[in-house]
Amino acid sequence: MINVAVMGYGTVGSGVVEVVNTNGARINQRIGEELNIKYVLDLRDFPGDPVQEKIIHDFETIINDDDVQIVVEVMGGIEPAYTFVKRCLQAGKSVATSNKALVAKHGAELLSIAKDHNINFLFEASVGGGIPIIRPLNSSLTADEIEEITGILNGTTNYMLTKMFYEGADYNTVLKEAQANGYAERNPEADVEGYDACRKIAILSSLISGQQVDFEDIYCEGITEITVEDMKYAKAMGTTIKLLASSKRVGDRLHAIVAPCMLYPEHPLYNVNDVFNAIFVHGNVLGDAMFYGSGAGKLPTASAVVADVVDAAKHLNRNIMTMWKQEKLTLEDKGDAKRRFFVRMKGDAEKELSNLKYSFGDIEIIRIDELEGEFGFITPIMMEGDYATRANRYKEQILHMIRIEG
């Protein structure tokens, strides 16, 4: 029998228990042994819930029980999760976590402790919810130099942008719906400001580079400034707006960014809607690959956590991960990235045209009849630093800038 302790009985923790209860027989077949959830650590009690008989309140019970071989950490946040996970690994217990904040900040160190103890620190659920992406990067795409990963990595904001785009829905209403569906973070600021997607692309960037990519170094812009008017321009241009998290190789460096972007229908992420996530990967010998599926929510996330538990159970005394050193990677300067920009501006397009052409080059004007006193334009491809210098001359007039992907 393989004994597991689950730390945290929130949305994902209760999902983990549900997945094991629902699919236990099949899971046991796959492991070749019986999987038993021995403890569930939580501050609260759950009277009337069958889980109550497994509830413990003291972490030391887990550490002191040599029968517990695998620990699931689904508490979220850095502390006490970090201290608990580190102590579990040091005590020779493999850990599976969905905690992207923990993985993004301490992944390299925790992987190294797991390696030293010949056990595993696994975190499939930390990126893309139920979509397999960590294991494919570590185990399948190992022949490639990964040149690009671009993803829709946050279900909450994708759900919101989809509703805003297709239904003209109001920002606050759709945020409440996403929260009610259990997609949003406890503090939804992490979703709408892009921090959640940023931690996830930091993890993926670290995995493809083998070095530490700090999420604080990644330029991060959320969706809070996206308006109904922006959506109207997007539609007029035949594009949609998605919150993209992207990491592209430039020589020895990576260019990483999280920002809302306009996508044309040819882009592989254009049709990724609602709470779904998708991750586009380009390898130098593979070419393109796409990973698509349920990116948030209780059971999809729990499915990935339990799959990690199965993997840990199949490799109890063998480390199966991975290249991610603590040495920090310097990212490429954001100003050096080249792309086109969509700009909304106050004023009259006819009057501004020659000035704008002089500043930005051959721009394309976009007009929306119902939006008076403003217009939009698309710049040619230019470096972001150059765009910023030129746009600075018009800062009183510019209402919004959105990057164009592809």
Report the alpha-carbon distance of residue 209 to residue 206 in Å, rounded: 5
Report the alpha-carbon distance of residue 129 to residue 152 in Å, rounded: 11
Shortest Å, Cβ 121 to ligand HSE:
18
Shortest Å, Cβ 172 to ligand HSE:
16
In DSSP terms, which residues pair with 148 in a beta bridge? 248, 282
Which residue, 193 or 196, has its beta carbon nearer to ligand HSE? 196
Q: Please give the full DSSP string across 53-67, using - where no structure is assigned.
A: GGEES-THHHHT-TT
Residues 8/76, Cβ–Cβ less than 8 Å: yes
Which residue, 76 or 283, has its beta carbon nearer to ligand HSE? 76
Shortest Å, Cβ 355 to ligand HSE:
42
| Residues forming the active site | 200
- In 3-state terms, what secondary structure has residue 349? helix
176's tokens: 């409440």
Residue with tokens 């992944």: 107
Residue whose C-alpha is closest to residue 62's, from 82, 91, 19, 103:
91
Shortest Å, Cβ 94 to ligand HSE:
22
Which residue, 10 or 347, has its beta carbon nearer to ligand HSE? 10
Which residue, 107 or 295, has its beta carbon nearer to ligand HSE? 295
Shortest Å, Cβ 24 to ligand HSE:
25
Residues 112/89, Cβ–Cβ less than 8 Å: no
- In 3-state terms, what secondary structure has residue 14? helix
Shortest Å, Cβ 302 to ligand HSE:
12
Which residue, 280 or 342, has its beta carbon nearer to ligand HSE? 280
Residue whose C-alpha is closest to residue 240's, from 224, 223, 271, 263:
263
Which residue, 69 or 97, has its beta carbon nearer to ligand HSE? 97
Binding residues (CB under 6 A) for ligand HSE: these are 129, 154-156, 183-185, 191, 196, 295-296
Collect all residues with Cβ–Cβ distance below 8 Å to 346 and sequence separation of at least 6.
Answer: 373, 374, 397, 398, 399
Shortest Å, Cβ 274 to ligand HSE:
11
CA 68 to centroid of chain Cα atoms: 30
Residue whose C-alpha is closest to residue 347's, from 333, 367, 320, 327:
367
Which residue, 99 or 211, has its beta carbon nearer to ligand HSE? 99
Residue whose C-alpha is closest to residue 79's, from 105, 56, 116, 113:
105
Burial degree of 360 (CB within 10 A; 0-12, 13-18, 19+)? buried
1's tokens: 């029998």
Shortest Å, Cβ 366 to ligand HSE:
31
CB-CB neighbours of 52 under 10 Å? 11
Based on C-alpha coordinates, what's the Rg of the chain?
Answer: 23
Report the alpha-carbon distance of residue 396 to residue 393 in Å, rounded: 8
Which residue, 73 or 191, has its beta carbon nearer to ligand HSE? 191
Residue 78 is classified by DSSP as S
